[in-house]
Structure 1
C-alpha cells in the first residue's frame, strides 16, 4: 500500500522536473540568441572624393551614315572598295555596266546634231523667203505708183499684190518651221542631257569621307534603284545610343563627361561626353535615348556593338563615405550601427551621392567613427546588442 501511495507523487515530480529542465533550456537558448555577443565586421568612417554616375546600355552608332545604292537598274561591273576600307569624298565606289547607255547617248547626240542642222537649213529658207517678200513689196509699190499714169494695167497691179501675199505667207511658214525646229532642238538637248545623266549614274561615288562598314553585293549582281551595295559611315562623330531610365532625366545635360565600357573590353573604359538627349521616352520600358560621344575607340570596334555608358551626374572632392552594405533601412529610415564599447548602437543617417562602391553620408556620422555589420549575413543587429570582433 505504501508503494502505490508514493507512485503518483513520483510521476508528477518527474514531469515537473522535465518541465523545469525545458524551461531552463529555453531560457538559456533565449539568452544566447538575444543577449550573447554577435561576431561583427567593423569599418572606420573616412572622407574622400565621390563620383555619382548614371548608367545606360546601348550600341555604337555613327551620327552620319548612308547606304550606297544605284539610281538606275543595271549589272554591277565592279565594286572597288570592301568593308573596312576608308574612302574620300568623290572616290569611285561602284561601276555599273554602261555599254547600252553609251549607245543611247550616241543616238541622242546624233539626234541633236540633226536638229541643229535642220535649224540651219530652216534659217536659210527663212532668209530666202524674206528676200522674196522684199522683192514682192518693191514690185507691188512700183506698180501702185505707175497705175495712175496708166503705165501698168490693173491686172498687173493685182498680180503684184497676190505675189506679195504669197511671199509673206512663205515667210510666215519659214518662221513657223524655225520655231518648231527650235522646240525639236530643245527636246534633243534634253534627251541627250537625260541619257548623259543616266550614263553618269553608272559611276557611284562616295558622298563624304568615311569608312565602308559592310559590303552587300559583288560584281555581276543585278541591282535596281534602292538596292544596298555598300554601307558607309562618317568617322567624324561616333556615339553610343544608350537607353537610360527616365528617372535620371533631370541629372543629365549635354557635354557632361562620361566613360564608355565596351563589352569586348570590359576591363577598359574610354572617354566620352553627352552629345544630345532624346525627347521621347519608351512607353513600355520608361527609358529614353542619350547619345554619348566616344572620344576614343578600342583598336577593334564595330558599328552596332554593345557598350555601357557611365555619365557623371555629380562629384564631390571631400565627403563622408560608406560602403553600401553597411547601411540598413528601418521604417524607411536609413541608418548604421555604431560600435559603442562593445555594443551596437543604431544611428539614423541622411544619404547623398551614390556610386557603385560608395555612398555619401550627409548627416549623422563623423570621420573616424566605427560602424559594424554582422559577420553572418543571416543575423540582424539590434540597438544595444553585444558585439565582438572575430
Structure 2
C-alpha cells in the first residue's frame, strides 16, 4: 500500500462511520419523538365541571302495554252472523249491539212455545169452569144428603134413599177432587210451558251479542255470513279506564319495589318523551328461566297513538336525593378494581378514587373523592388512555 492510499482510506472510513452515526441519530430522534408524543404530549380531552343536583335511582323493566280489563266477544249459541254493527277501532258503551245472528228458526220456536203456553192457559180456564161445576154438584149433593139424613132420623125417608144420597155425595166429592187435581196438573204444565217459552226467548235474545262494558274494540276476527259457535272469538274488547305496562324486572331488584311507587314510561314509538306511571301490582312468581318477574305499572297518560301490546320501558323510582355531587356515569372508570375519575389539575390528569352512591342510567352520585367545581376529563379519542400526570388539553 502506498503512503498516499492510506490517508484516503482512513478518511473514507471516517465518512462512512459518520454517515451511519448520523442515520442512527436520526432514527433515535424519531423514536424519541414518538415516545415523547405517546408518553408526554398533551391528550385532547373533554371537560366536565362537577355539579350538585338531584338524582333519582330507578329500576328498569321492559314490557308491553295491556288493558287491565278485556273480553273476547263470543256468542252463547251457534249461528250464522247476520249483521256486524261495530268494527275495529270503534268505542262502544255497555249494552251496545255488536253482532246479530240469524234468528229466523228461533223466532219460530218462540211462536210455537207461545202457542203452547196459550193453549195451556185456556185448558186451565176450562178446568176451573169444570171445578166450579163440581163444586156446585158437591154443594147440592151435600145438602141433599143432609136432608135425607134428617128425614131418616124421623123415619120420613127410606134406607134406599139415604144410600142413594150418600152415593151421590161420594161421587160429587170424587168429581171435586178430580177437578182440583186436573187444575194442579194444568198449572204444572203451564209452568213448564212458560219455562220453555222463557228458554226460547232467551235463546232468541242470545242472537244479539252486546258489549259487556264501555270500551274500545281492538280487533275483529269474523265477517258477515260466518258460522260461529260458543267460544268463537268475534271481536276483542278492552276497557281503556286503566291501561298498564306489564314489565319484566330482574328478580335482584325485588326488594326495592313497592306498590304506589312513581314511575316514568318510555314508549319505543316516542323514545324522547316520558309518560307518568305508578306501580299498582307486583307479581308473585318469577320466570324460572329468565329469573324475572312481572310488575304492573299504571299508565297515567298515553301517547296520542298507541296500541295494545306495543313495547315500552318502565323506569320505577326507588330512591331520590337532592343537592348531591353528580357525574355522568360514563366518566367513571375502573382501575385496580376501584372506581375513579381523572381530574384536571394544572393541565395534568390526576387519578382520584371515588365512592359511589345512587345511580341511574345517566348519572351517578359521588359520595367521596371529588367535590363540586372539580374538572373531570375524558379523552376525546376512545383509543387514547389517560394516566397519572399525563398532560391534557381541552380543544
SS at match of 1:366: coil
Stretch moving more, 234-243 or 269-278: 269-278
Match in the other structure for 1:231: 236
Stretch moving more, 87-96 or 47-56: 47-56
Pairing partner for 2:317 from 301, 312, 316 = 312
Match in the other structure for 1:357: 362
Q: Would you say the 8 A contact 1:37–1:385 is kept in 2? A: no
Match in the other structure for 1:285: 290
Q: After superposition, give the CA deviation of every residue in 1:84-138 in whole Å (9 maximum; x if it has no partner).
A: 1111122111111111111111111111111111111111111111211122222
Pairing partner for 2:111 from 95, 106, 110 = 106
| 1:276 lines up with 2:281 in the alignment | yes
Q: Would you say the 8 A contact 2:83–2:101 is kept in 1? A: yes
Pairing partner for 1:191 from 193, 196, 200 = 196
* Structure 1 stretches of at least 4 aligned residues deviating more than 6 Å after TM superposition: 27-35
1:275 CA displacement:
2.6
Paired with 1:94 and 1:120, the residues of 2 have a C-alpha distance of 42
SS at match of 1:198: helix
Question: What does 1:1-390 correspond to in 2, within 5 Å?
Answer: 36=40, 39=43, 41=45, 42-341=47-346, 344-373=349-378, 377=382, 384-389=388-393
Paired with 1:50 and 1:37, the residues of 2 have a C-alpha distance of 37
In structure 1, runs of 5+ residues without a counterpart are: 1-20
1:40 CA displacement:
6.0
Paired with 2:271 and 2:347, the residues of 1 have a C-alpha distance of 43
TM-score by length of 1: 0.85
Q: Would you say the 8 A contact 1:98–1:199 is kept in 2? A: yes
SS at match of 1:240: strand
Paired with 1:211 and 1:31, the residues of 2 have a C-alpha distance of 71
Q: Would you say the 8 A contact 1:35–1:385 is kept in 2? A: no
1:267 CA displacement:
2.8
Paired with 1:375 and 1:86, the residues of 2 have a C-alpha distance of 55
1:325 CA displacement:
2.9
TM-score by length of 2: 0.84
Match in the other structure for 1:10: none
Paired with 2:300 and 2:37, the residues of 1 have a C-alpha distance of 58
Paired with 1:293 and 1:326, the residues of 2 have a C-alpha distance of 34
Q: Would you say the 8 A contact 2:344–2:392 is kept in 1? A: no
Paired with 1:246 and 1:163, the residues of 2 have a C-alpha distance of 93
Q: After superposition, give the CA deviation of every residue in 1:191-242 in whole Å (9 maximum; x if it has no partner).
A: 1111111111111111111111111111111111111111111111111111
Paired with 1:237 and 1:102, the residues of 2 have a C-alpha distance of 40
SS at match of 1:264: helix
Q: After superposition, give the CA deviation of every residue in 1:159-205 in whole Å (9 maximum; x if it has no partner).
A: 22112111111111111111101100110111111111111111111
SS at match of 1:82: coil
Q: Would you say the 8 A contact 1:344–1:387 is kept in 2? A: yes
Q: After superposition, give the CA deviation of every residue in 1:146-166 in whole Å (9 maximum; x if it has no partner).
A: 224332221221122112111
In structure 2, runs of 5+ residues without a counterpart are: 1-23
- C-alpha distance 250-29 of structure 1, shift in aligned 2 (>3 A): farther
Paired with 1:95 and 1:277, the residues of 2 have a C-alpha distance of 40
SS at match of 1:217: coil
